[in-house]
Amino acid sequence: MLLKKIVLNNFRQYYGYQELEFSQLQNKNVTVVHGENGSGKTALLHSFGWCLYGDLNLPNPENICNEHALSNLQKDQSIESYVELHFEAFSKKYSLKRFIVVERTNDDRILYGEPQVSMQFIGHEGQSERIENYTEEINRILPKDLRTYFFFDGERIDNLTKSGNNEDIEKAIKSMMGLEILERSIRHTDQARKRFREELKELGDAKTQEVYSELEKLEQERDTYIEKRQIKQDNIKVLDKQIEEREIRLTQLEGAKKLQELRESKREELYQAESRLKEIEKELVNTMSKQGYLAFTSPIMEKADEILDSNGPEEQFVKGITKDFIDKLIQDGKCICGEEIKEDSIHLNHLQELAQATTSNQLINTVNYFKQNGRTVEERKENLFKNLDRLKKAQSSESTNIRLLNEKIQEISTQLSEHTTEDIAALEERRKELSNQKDKINQDIGSINGNIERLDEEIVELENEQKKMELKETKSNLAQKRMQTCRNLIDVMENILEIRETIVKEQLQDRISKVYSQFLRKNYSINLSEDYMLNVFNEKGNPVAMSQGERQITSLSFIGAIVDIARETFNKETQNAFDEGGIYPLVMDSPFGALDSDHRERVAKGIYKLADQVIVIVSTSQWEGEVEEQMKSLVGKEYKLEYNDPRYNKDKPYEYTNVKEVN
Amino acid sequence: MIEEKNEEFQAILKGLSGEQTKILKEILEAEKSFLHRENLQGTPIVSQIMDIVKERVDE
């Protein structure tokens, strides 16, 4: 989607007809709108949302119509208040108008009509065609639940990095990167599979019906457990938030600050130690599964050596001479001593006996090879024992380390609980209660997982039984085939989803890191966690408590990265059915609000690269200086919002905003 | 990592039979047409998937 033009007519403080065209130039893709405080910047940002989705997230949202226009309205007259948006998407040109009609009645009452919408696109032959299902069409072009990412308020944008917002982030990523479509397909194909099963159940004999009823029961039971687990996981999120709030509070209290910081650093050490222990245990399992057999080779190898040493080929055969050599002597008829070898001579007989006593090189080689291997097996066994010994020591040392760290963390908690300052002790006590509740819920989740696992096994077992059942009826056979086709496709889609989720996360991680390093001065790194949380770490790898400006930059990097990748996917030459992507504009109100001068410069320098179209709505003071300096060569259109202050303009003693293009 | 995963992805697609590929493609297309509906209630998506499967698996 690329925005072409917005028209505001008697909308909020925009009196009369006001129009802004947006730059669509490739090398000057920025449109800047600047104005003083109160000049209507935020109203402009929200006018996009109102026009597209009918939401107006502003104070007194019912006051759509401009006050001065209303006061000028004569009896029995009406006016239109509207926002009209012109844009291009999927190679079509659209115009969308949301409007209300306001009427002053004969008895001087003001009547507001219901908001109405008219949407058209320009057809291939230039004719205008009306779109009736405009809500669906708008959502197809720019999904409503993603609007905050494209029309964002810089002063609220830092919310993205706060805990509890990972679900929004996950939703945005999945929607824009084509993962949501796979999730839905899996869900709906499974529903189709169940309906085929119902058909099969109706067609089948008593045994078939029994198996399917049992399967249904098990699946329902599993779904109930999955729902319960979801509720418990949501509860954990709430508890995590409450614990975090208390811990933040503890870092703010002078008497608890150091202890809380120490606890955080010990927790980090604990996390590292637990990760190391996991790696050690993994290595132990791998080593044992791949080389464990070596530990049992000693008796076999000893026995083989014994046989070969006492009764081996060396004892039975002539060594050092091969049969081929003796055969050659007999064939030439001359011994190595020069004596002729005649038929029926004792020399010939002797040589023939010797030839029989020799053996082929192959047998000797095999025996030697076996003995050599025996030594290698012995060496590998010794190495295995050394390796296991090393791993066991490391495991023991890490376990001790973990125990000590847990004790230290426990000790910190006790110190805080027994703190002389009542607030601190109370905060810690509450934190402990919450933490205990979380442990309890985690235990419940563990038990639920156990039940789900058990049910999964029972379902698989029953499904295998069902596959073996011979179906005499053709119709039943067909229903079963269809059911199986759905099952196979679900497996395929689940595999694809897992792979694509990994790819998308990797791509995003890479892109966010790049954008982040351009925008942020400090050498922090950003990480998109498994559960879609944006975490920032310092050079030592410790989590960072970010300032508002840093949070703003982090969120901006995320949004920039996702818009950039969506664009890249959309523009890919060879797209497959899973590629979603799209062209999205970035419309930002006060993106530089909480940033210092250096960061303003950095963001201004790089922001234009993130989207095909960037619209920056900014206060005059934020615009002038480093931002203007960095962006002026990128600006294709520039507007100033001129606020008419009734206190100073006696000719026009009413409030309104006028849009003026700056050339 | 991305390359490796892309290869895995391609391998899965190659491992599908012609019929499976067609069904998968048609399911995704059907889903796309409903993707941006605010409310899926009342949409025939599950029936549509059943029809897609029925058309391709008919003997």
- What ipTM was predicted for this assembly? 0.94
The interface residues of chain A toward chain B in range 144-183, judged by CB-CB distance below 8 A, are 144, 180-182
Please tell me the distance from the alpha carbon of residue A171 to that of residue A305, in angstroms, as a whole number: 66
Interchain proximity B24–A493, CB inside 8 Å: yes
pLDDT for res A566 = 84
Helices (H), A469-535: 474-519
CA-nearest residue of chain B to A503?
B2
Instruction: Tell me if chain A has a CB within 8 Å of the CB of B8.
Output: yes
Closest Cβ opposite residue A195 in set B35, B45, B46: B46
CA-nearest residue of chain A to B56?
A482
Helices (H), A545-591: 548-571
Interchain proximity B28–A578, CB inside 8 Å: yes
Beta strand A635-644 with A614-619: parallel, antiparallel or unpaired? unpaired
Structural domains of chain A, count: 2
Residue A313 has phi, psi (to 5 degrees) of -60, -30
Instruction: Tell me if chain A has a CB within 8 Å of the CB of B38.
Output: yes
Interchain proximity B28–A496, CB inside 8 Å: no
Torsion of CA A227, A231, A234, A235, to 10 degrees: -160
Q: Does residue A295 form part of some domain?
A: no
Reading chain B (59 residues) residue by residue, the pLDDT tens digits are: 788 888 898 899 899 999 999 999 999 989 888 776 655 565 689 999 999 999 998 87
Mutate: best of B22, B25, B27, partner A, most A CBs <10 A: B27
A165's CB contacts (< 8 A; 6+ apart) are A159
Cβ(A177)–Cβ(A581) under 8 Å?
yes
Cβ(B12)–Cβ(A492) under 8 Å?
yes
Q: What is the 3-state secondary structure (H, E, C) of A252-297?
A: HCHHHHHHHHHHHHHHHHHHHHHHHHHHHHHHHHHHHHHHHHHHHC
**Residue numbers in A near B53 (CB within 8 A):** 192, 196, 482, 485-486
Instruction: Tell me if chain B has a CB within 8 Å of the CB of A506.
Output: yes
Nearest of A657, A659, A661 to residue A38 by alpha carbon: A657
Residue A65 has phi, psi (to 5 degrees) of -80, 140
CA-nearest residue of chain B to A477?
B59
Interchain proximity B57–A478, CB inside 8 Å: yes
Interchain proximity B24–A577, CB inside 8 Å: yes
Q: How far away is chain A from the Cα of B52, in angstroms, using its nearest Cα? A: 10
Q: What is the CATH number of the domain that holds A57?
A: 3.40.50.300
Cβ(A117)–Cβ(A142) under 8 Å?
no
**Residue numbers in A near B8 (CB within 8 A):** 499
Interchain proximity A499–B12, CB inside 8 Å: yes
Nearest of A34, A54, A128, A121 to residue A86 by alpha carbon: A121
Q: Does residue A610 form part of some domain?
A: yes
Q: Which amino acid is at A19?
A: E
Provide block-wise average pLDDT over 10 residues at a time, chain A (663 residues).
Answer: 95 94 93 91 93 88 89 92 93 93 92 93 82 88 83 72 69 83 93 90 81 90 94 91 87 87 87 89 93 86 80 59 83 84 84 76 73 85 93 95 94 91 90 94 96 94 79 74 92 94 89 88 83 80 75 85 84 70 86 84 87 92 89 93 87 88 88
Strand partners, A98: A83, A117
Please tell me the distance from the alpha carbon of residue B40 to that of residue B44, in angstroms, as a whole number: 9
Please tell me the distance from the alpha carbon of residue A467 to that of residue A472, in angstroms, as a whole number: 13
pLDDT for res A162 = 61
Q: Does residue A496 form part of some domain?
A: no
Coil, helix or strand for A313? helix
Q: Does residue A433 form part of some domain?
A: no
Q: How far away is chain A from the Cα of B43, in angstroms, using its nearest Cα? A: 11
**Residue numbers in B near A489 (CB within 8 A):** 20, 23-24, 27
Q: How far away is chain A from the Cα of B22, in angstroms, using its nearest Cα? A: 11
Structure tokens at A125: 């032959």
Interchain proximity A485–B56, CB inside 8 Å: yes
State which residues form the domain around A57: 2-142+584-661
Please tell me the distance from the alpha carbon of residue A364 to that of residue A313, in angstroms, as a whole number: 7
CA-nearest residue of chain A to B32?
A181
pLDDT for res A607 = 85
Residue A499 has phi, psi (to 5 degrees) of -65, -45
Domain boundaries, chain B: 17-59
Distances (CA, A) of B42 to A48, A175, B37, B38: 30, 22, 11, 11
Q: How far away is chain A from the Cα of B53, in angstroms, using its nearest Cα? A: 6
Interchain proximity A492–B16, CB inside 8 Å: yes
pLDDT for res A252 = 82
Instruction: Tell me if chain B has a CB within 8 Å of the CB of A53.
Output: no
Interchain proximity A181–B9, CB inside 8 Å: no
Instruction: Tell me if chain A has a CB within 8 Å of the CB of B56.
Output: yes
pLDDT tens-digit readout, A40-73: 999 999 999 999 999 888 888 888 999 899 999 9
Burial class from Cβ neighbours inside 10 Å (0-12, 13-18, 19+) for residue A118 reads middle
**Residue numbers in B near A140 (CB within 8 A):** 35-36
Beta strand A116-122 with A151-153: parallel, antiparallel or unpaired? unpaired
Q: SS3 helix, strand, coil % of chain A, rounded to 5?
A: 60, 15, 25
Dump the DSSP string for A57-85. Answer: -SSSTT--B-HHHHHTPPTTEEEEEEEEE
Instruction: Tell me if chain B has a CB within 8 Å of the CB of A487.
Output: no
From first CA to last CA, the distance across chain A in angstroms is: 26
pLDDT tens-digit readout, A400-436: 999 999 999 999 999 999 988 888 999 999 999 999 9
Closest Cβ opposite residue B1 in set A180, A192, A506: A506
